[in-house]
Amino acid sequence: MTAVRTGLLALIAVLALSAGAKLAGGKLKLIFKLLLNSFLGLLLLAALDLLGDPLGLDLGVNVPNALIVGVLGIPGFALLLILRWFVHM
């Protein structure tokens, strides 16, 4: 997936979530907190992608992984690593 396509999909997702928040009665703060945490999770996954190769750690830098890390935090990151380890045993 190209960077432009990923950016457009992220923009569409933000707009859809903003519209959904308006319809949901003003839960905008919660939704933006989830988006911020997911973005930080994506940055953590990107850092692991760059630095994890020498250590043999690799996780996909994608939206589902970013959401898991964003919502669950460090335990979510550990969960993804454990699942990755079990899948590749």
* pLDDT tens sequence across 16-57: 766 766 766 666 677 777 777 777 777 777 788 788 777 777
Per the prediction, the chain carries an average pLDDT of: 75
Alpha carbons 52 and 82: distance in angstroms, whole number: 15
Residue 49 near residue 80 (C-beta atoms within 8 A): no
Over residues 49-78, mean pLDDT: 79
pTM greater than the 0.75 cutoff = no
- Residue 65 and residue 45: Cα distance in Å, rounded? 8
pLDDT at 57: 75
- Tell me the CA end-to-end span of the chain in Å, nearest whole number: 28
CB 53 within 8 A of CB 28: no
Nearest to 80, CA basis, from 55, 45, 56, 38: 45
Structural domain for 66, as ranges = 3-87
Total tally of structural domains belonging to the chain: 1
